[in-house]
Amino acid sequence: MDDQLIDWWPSPAKLNLFLHILGRNQKGYHLLQTLFQMLDVGDQIAFTLTDDGKIAMSQSLEGVPDDQNLIVRAARLLQSTCETSKGAIITLDKQLPMGGGIGGGSSNAATTLVALNELWNCKLNTTELAELGLLLGADVPIFIHGLTAFAGGVGENIYPVKIPCQWYLVANPGIHISTAEVFAAPELPRNSAAMNWQHYKFEETRNDCQTLVTNRHPEVANLLQWLVHYAPSRMTGTGACVFATFASEAQAKEVQAKLPDKWSSFVAKGVDQSPLKIKQQQVRAASDM
């Protein structure tokens, strides 16, 4: 496909720079604290608008029926909420690994909501879109806000923050980890003390899911053990991806070049505003001209 002929909307990756689990609420959902770091790379999604109300993928994602795809579910949720008769055929350029803990599916859903809100002229604001997104998954609102931010509660309490620019080597051990299985595990720690955002230091935080996942999945443990020799490293989300932090792109790519071929990887820059947020601003600025 010719990128010049398609209006692609970015669907960026994120990292959980830390993830503390404080307990559960009355509904049984886990209460957490985390720092979502937006990255400058990810998937891309294009939308061909239709007038017949039909919503479908131009090519179904392997192993995921359209009715279960978060992209289609997000589009149908917005369509129902806005009571529009418009539809869309959706094309996904998939780059992020599924089940990697870097937000692939949640980011896809957020991009769909943000893009079609503009393309269908639904005129929902960011807060309204984020409320819709929360119906699809706890991580969807952070991508709709599109800002690097601390998050609390079940992920819905978002506090944007600017942190020093870092580069990240994100590596994938090639396995899929179920978030639901991790959070259902009896050995998952659920008693971390709440921390003050202002006191955040990477080295004084952790990922409460990491020990459980590395105990169950030696592939993740082996990758982490390899990376930590070169730079501060940690698992993101519930895995399976892990990341190492660097001060420069050159340093990250130097270590990437040494990574064994059995592991896939990419280098990304941490950004305060996600590519999706920037795209949304550009589209709105163009429509105001």
Report pLDDT digits (tens) over 99-147: 789 999 999 999 999 999 999 999 999 999 999 999 998 889 999 999 9
Query: For position 155, what pLDDT does the model report?
Result: 79
Residues (pLDDT < 50) of the chain are 1-4
Report pLDDT digits (tens) over 182-203: 999 999 999 999 999 989 999 9
Q: What residues are annotated to the active site?
A: 14, 139
Identify whether the C-beta of residue 235 lies closer than 8 Å to the C-beta of residue 212.
no
Identify whether the C-beta of residue 244 lies closer than 8 Å to the C-beta of residue 168.
yes
Domains of the chain, residue spans = 1-289
Cα 35 to Cα 221: distance, rounded to the nearest angstrom: 22
Query: For position 289, what pLDDT does the model report?
Result: 73
Cα 69 to Cα 264: distance, rounded to the nearest angstrom: 24
Query: For position 154, what pLDDT does the model report?
Result: 82
Query: For position 4, what pLDDT does the model report?
Result: 43
Domain 1-289 in this protein, CATH class: alpha beta
Helix ranges, the chain (H): 70-82, 104-119, 126-134, 140-145, 179-184, 210-216, 218-227, 249-256, 275-288
Task: Classify residue 204 by its DSSP letter.
Answer: G
Cα 74 to Cα 55: distance, rounded to the nearest angstrom: 10
Identify whether the C-beta of residue 194 lies closer than 8 Å to the C-beta of residue 33.
yes
Side-chain half-sphere CA neighbours of 192 within 13 A: 22
CA-CA-CA-CA torsion for 262, 263, 266, 271, nearest 10 degrees?
180
